[in-house]
Structure 1
Amino acid sequence: MDNNEITVNHQKENDLGTIRIADEVVAIIAGLAATEVEGVAGMSGGIAGGIAEMLGRKNLSKGVKVEVGEKEAAVDLYVIMKFGVRIPDVALKIQESVKKAIENMTGLKVVEVNVHVQGIAFPSAENKEEEHRVR
């Protein structure tokens, strides 16, 4: 068995074989569930040169580290939050969303979801209307 795959035994009476779920699939499920939470600006690919690189929806497994066993999974998420949100509340919602998504889609028991806040995304200057000093 490849190190990047897990085996989940089929639970029905007749033996149809095994189901293999790659770690990358679990990471994508976790990344998608995390980015759908209100208050999350994006996933962080890590800190390179002191700057957190924000990644878009194209690569959902970036910013996600999973450790998968035969029956359990642990997840580490590296996220960038939107400015103005209450970080502990958003982090709790991320944990709940990721745990529910992985358990529902794979049948694995999620033992921990660690949220690492790597940065804050501020609203861009283009979105703000420029205030004039004189009218």
Structure 2
Amino acid sequence: MPNDTINNYTVDHDSNQHLDGTITYTDKVIEKIIGRALQSVEGLLSVNGGLFSTIKNKMVNSEDVTEGVDVEVGTKQVATDLKIVVEYDQDIPAIVDSIKSVISDEVKLMTHLEVIEVNVEVVDIKTKEEFQNDSVTLQDRLTEAGQATGEFISNQASKAGHIISETKEQVEEQIETSRVE
């Protein structure tokens, strides 16, 4: 019976072998693993969740790594479908091979599930600059407009305060002048 000593505790590896049970994973868990793993793939600009996801992402900033990742999770295997945007002037088949490799490795490492299928649909290609420009959301634009409006109002209030101060001085001078005469 193998034993390991960890921090002065003895762990008996065979004592839990008689316990029955299963581990199941929700689709969301596997989607998150895949989404986070895809962040390391060079040449992959984004995983696209389709029309409504694109519209939502144009409206507000989103950090949802599961967008555009659809999975089918079984008890021993996983299949996934992805819609991706890749960087222009890159080797798309090599990027897809990297995607398959990183997905398979990460899912296997974390869950011991086998990835049996990775279907990739390339929905767009863009330069990094085009992608960054397209990634500016309505939320970003409203924030910028709000900041610009705030600066404008602050400048106008400062000007108004200066004018009021000058006018006050002029009125005080006129009052003082009218008393002396």
Structure-1-length-normalised TM-score = 0.72
Identity %: 33
Could you tell me which of 105, 111, 121 is aligned with 1:106?
111
> Once superposed, what is the RMSD of the aligned Cα atoms?
2.7
Query: How far does the alpha carbon of each residue in 1:68-97 deviate from its partner, in whole angstroms, 9 at most, with x for none?
Result: 111111011111101111111111111111
**C-alpha separation in 2, matches of 1:120 and 1:59:** 21
**C-alpha separation in 2, matches of 1:123 and 1:18:** 44
Structure-2-length-normalised TM-score = 0.55
Aligned to 2:44: 40
Structure 2: segments with no counterpart, 5+ residues? 1-15, 133-181
* Alpha carbons 2:24, 2:75 under 8 Å: kept: no
More strand by share: 1
Aligned to 1:133: none
Whichever of the two has the greater Rg, that structure is: 2
* Alpha carbons 1:35, 1:43 under 8 Å: kept: no
Identify which of structures 1 and 2 has the higher relative contact order when contacts are C-alpha pairs closer than 8 Å and 6+ apart: 1
Deviation >3 Å, runs of 4+: none
More helix by share: 2
Could you tell me which of 123, 126, 129 is aligned with 1:121?
126
Count of aligned pairs between the two proteins: 113
**Cα distance, 1:14 vs structure 2:** 3.5
Q: Is 1:29 equivalent to 2:29 in the alignment?
A: no
**C-alpha separation in 1, matches of 2:27 and 2:49:** 17
